[in-house]
Structure 1
Amino acid sequence: MHAYQAVFNIWDTSHHVKSPNEVDLAKGSHCLQRLRSTADSACLNGTEGRSPLYAAALLMVGQVLLVYHMFTTCTSAHAIIQHVLLQAEEAYPALLAQPALDPITITPVIIDTVECLVRRECPIIHVKQADRFIVDRSIGLCWTLLPLLQQLCITSHESKMKTMCTALEPQSNGSVNDAFTDIERKIKDWEPLAPPSFFSDFTPLEASAMLLQARVYRTAALLIIHRLRNPLGVNDEKARWYADLIHAELASFIAATSSAHLSAFSSNLQYGEDLQRFIDNAWAASADGFKGTWFDLVDKNFTIPVMI
């Protein structure tokens, strides 16, 4: 209950986010301390920490505090998710076997995976292909893409640890054969899978949004691979093509959708400003002749959550 009270304290009576100086950060800090101490105590006790129900409760509280953190200080959101995933890791196979818990269990995994894609880290929970269709509020139809994204995270991290850049071997057809070739092929070949009742279970808008998400996630993964191979200023045309494709997909969807059905991104103006600042820094670095990868700039300048 303390976690929910802390989150409700973020908004005023008109459902607008309060300014930072109006929010009592002590409430959120107290909840984070409780989350950490409770999880640590469960680990010491042993059996309770391995209970699927306890792990589910921990994941739910962690996500509530994630919302609080993103609308306040917005600096350690990924650390919160990592903490609860580590505590629930042993129970995850049992949790993922229960469809009723999908809204609690899947969101932290996709958040951690996306953060790891951008930061070249390894996800905590490694998912396998499920023996059932999973259509979730956060991952849409991309559950079968998730293992490929996680494989890309691991390959990227290993490359970073070995040489900080991948040695490319040009082939006669102008393509490359490197650590990313196999996963790139798998991602290009991937198509979303949906249950037979998909179009009757969801409204046309919901179905369109999930299909859009699948296309955008796949293209974004290919853009990440391209940027892992090429420093800023090298083969930028292909990177621009991928980026323009994502923009065109989103623009077409927005143009065809009533604005009443779209959430306002302006709900967290500070996040938008911080994101724009990083983009400006990346362009400035490129103009100044920076020869590293986009991901080198992330390590130094990107401190906000990837997903919000």
Structure 2
Amino acid sequence: MPTSRSCDQCYAQKKKCQREKDLAKCIRCAHLALDCSTARYSRPPGRPARSKLLGPAAEIQVWASQERSSSKTSSSPNTDVQGVSPHSQSASTDTTSEQEPLVIDHINSSVGHGVQSKLPDILQELGRNQEPSTPAPEPTDEEFYELNDIFMIGPSFTKTFRQALNYSYLKAPHILRDMFSVMIRYMTNTMKPNTTAPAHAEIAEAAHLLRKYQVTEISNDNDALAVLVLGQSLAALDTFMVSTGSMLILRHSLYLVKPWYPQLAQVEFLDSVTVTPIFWEILECLIKRERPIIRPRIHRPHVVDRLFGLCVSLMPILYDLCEVSHEMKVQSQPQSQKLDIIEQQVLSWTPAEPPLQFSRFTDTEIMLLRVQASIYRSATLLLIHRVKYPLSCQDGIAVSYANDIMEEKDKILLHGGPDLKLQFGCFPLYLALLEIPLRPESLWKSLTKLSYRPACAEQFFAFHRYFWQRRWDGFKGSLFDLIDNGPTFMAVP
């Protein structure tokens, strides 16, 4: 006889759970291809036990109650997403209730009390699930950086990035568990010498995650945070493996998260997972002349991002450039006064180096951060120039911006030695290669620690060959016409 208890998925989304005789899954889970389980924690009948404060502001109790059931979704009553308030619940509320979400309003206080050190590590959690009898030891920061170094400018970003990932995983493991499991296995394999391109099985796993991602629903801010992390992780996997839908994946996640973004952007220690996807999409919109989904909000002027370093304060200017460029594309205007204003803003822009926080970075990281800011400034000016002028028109100015980018690259590689990689300068350097006819294959080795060329690099190489063939054939139109009509490639940070 079918159980009368709602499955975990229907319960979490407050949907009616209907079952048919002799079917293992309920109708909704069968239709959406979801796992139909009833493993969630259930409260015993009667009045719940009185809440006890086990730590400062009760954060420890909040996290402990959530840890009891990794499959549980903290869902709020069905309301319009625009009306969700970050102050809808205090941290001292009875946390055993499955009906009220854990809000992000109290996160910053937990950071100050050091409670984040008690968060279960993602790698440790996944290791424990794979071998229940032998709990996995908590990895060191050095081990975490070794596994994820291509997502950070340097090791000084490890603690904040790790903390944000752990928090998002803890709050919505039902959304992130499979994604992190696949990502950890993939990144572990890429660290091995002589790694080849991803196998069919790895691509199939990513495709399965994508199908689950398409039916993910957001009920509260914790789900929104998890979807934001999931979207950028899936987009990164796609970039490495096949590079066919990375921006569709990323933009879909930003569209879903948009109502919650103003709230998430206020939380300082989540910057490492909220800044990157916004910036990445802006770069794509710059070369495609599209309008970004989310306008960035910079609440802290001295943010130093794990991927974009000191360029965070440049984001609003880049967003405005996307909008103006898109308007000129749609209206077919030759030039815009707004574009001149943005160009002056870029010319006067200087990255704000936080005097106190900056001391936590190594000398090499500080050098990388400053070079990255310099080449992104030059790349932005180069893009503005190409919005104004077609190819073969005032090429000398464009080449001078490209030379500035290449000279900064040469200086830092000469100073840092052969082991230094300018990992987060791909976007400016790719733009420079569209003005200076150099082979990108030789440049690629200085940009990454990956042991093989991912799909996104192969795509740009194909576009680069097409682009220069068209220029040598006498093409004198817009750079963006070639981008729209040539082989597909995507913006890589």
TM range (shorter): 0.7 to 0.9
**1:233 to partner: Cα distance:** 1.0
Partner of 2:164: none
* TM-score normalised per structure 2: 0.56
Structure 1 pair 18/100, CA: closer, same or farther in 2 (3 Å)? same
Separation (CA, whole Å) in 2 of partners of 1:71 and 1:150: 26
Separation (CA, whole Å) in 1 of partners of 2:191 and 2:410: 33
The question of 1:286 aligning with 2:455 is answered: no
Query: Unmatched 5+ residue regions in structure 1?
Result: 43-47, 168-176
Say which is worse superposed, 8-17 or 230-239, in terms of deviation. Answer: 8-17
1:150-165 matched pairs, under 5 angstroms: 150-163=319-332, 165=333
Aligned length: 289
1:146-187: CA deviation from partner (whole Å, max 9, x where unpaired):
100110000000000001x524xxxxxxxxx74411100011
| Residue pair 1:232, 1:293 contacting (<8 A) in 2 also | yes
**1:52 to partner: Cα distance:** 2.2
Structure 1 pair 93/302, CA: closer, same or farther in 2 (3 Å)? farther
Say which is worse superposed, 201-210 or 13-22, in terms of deviation. Answer: 13-22
1:1-308 matched pairs, under 5 angstroms: 1-10=177-186, 11=189, 14=192, 17-39=195-217, 42=218, 48=219, 51-163=220-332, 165-167=333-335, 178-262=337-421, 263-264=448-449, 267-307=452-492
Q: Residue 279 of structure 1: SS of its match in structure 2?
A: helix
1:182-213: CA deviation from partner (whole Å, max 9, x where unpaired):
10001100011121214412111111111111
Structure 1 pair 198/251, CA: closer, same or farther in 2 (3 Å)? farther
Alignment-mate amino acid for residue 280 of structure 1? R
Separation (CA, whole Å) in 2 of partners of 1:12 and 1:155: 40
Structure 1 pair 20/200, CA: closer, same or farther in 2 (3 Å)? closer
**1:9 to partner: Cα distance:** 4.8
1:40-87: CA deviation from partner (whole Å, max 9, x where unpaired):
xx3xxxxx1xx2221111111122212221121111111111011111
Structure 1 pair 265/208, CA: closer, same or farther in 2 (3 Å)? same
Alignment-mate amino acid for residue 219 of structure 1? S
Separation (CA, whole Å) in 2 of partners of 1:222 and 1:188: 8
Query: Which protein has the larger Cα radius of gyration, Structure 1 or Structure 2?
Result: 2
**1:21 to partner: Cα distance:** 4.5
Percent identity between matched residues is 31
Separation (CA, whole Å) in 2 of partners of 1:62 and 1:260: 31
Structure 1 pair 144/281, CA: closer, same or farther in 2 (3 Å)? same
**1:143 to partner: Cα distance:** 1.4
Separation (CA, whole Å) in 2 of partners of 1:13 and 1:219: 33
Say which is worse superposed, 19-28 or 61-70, in terms of deviation. Answer: 19-28
| Residue pair 2:194, 2:451 contacting (<8 A) in 1 also | no
1:101-125: CA deviation from partner (whole Å, max 9, x where unpaired):
1111111001001001111011111
**1:3 to partner: Cα distance:** 1.6
Separation (CA, whole Å) in 2 of partners of 1:76 and 1:16: 27
Partner of 1:171: none
Alignment-mate amino acid for residue 208 of structure 1? M
Say which is worse superposed, 246-255 or 295-304, in terms of deviation. Answer: 295-304
Structure 1 pair 93/17, CA: closer, same or farther in 2 (3 Å)? farther
Larger helix percent: 1
Alignment-mate amino acid for residue 166 of structure 1? P
Query: Unmatched 5+ residue regions in structure 2?
Result: 1-176, 422-447
Alignment-mate amino acid for residue 279 of structure 2? I
Separation (CA, whole Å) in 2 of partners of 1:146 and 1:224: 15
Say which is worse superposed, 6-15 or 145-154, in terms of deviation. Answer: 6-15
Structure 1 pair 150/16, CA: closer, same or farther in 2 (3 Å)? farther
* TM-score normalised per structure 1: 0.87
**1:17 to partner: Cα distance:** 4.2
**1:128 to partner: Cα distance:** 3.5
| Residue pair 1:223, 1:239 contacting (<8 A) in 2 also | yes
Alignment-mate amino acid for residue 328 of structure 2? S
Separation (CA, whole Å) in 1 of partners of 2:486 and 2:469: 12
**1:244 to partner: Cα distance:** 0.8
**1:270 to partner: Cα distance:** 4.2
Alignment-mate amino acid for residue 274 of structure 1? Q
| Residue pair 2:197, 2:452 contacting (<8 A) in 1 also | no
Structure 1 pair 141/18, CA: closer, same or farther in 2 (3 Å)? same
**1:271 to partner: Cα distance:** 3.3
Q: Which one scores higher on RCO, CA 8 angstroms, separation ≥ 6?
A: 1
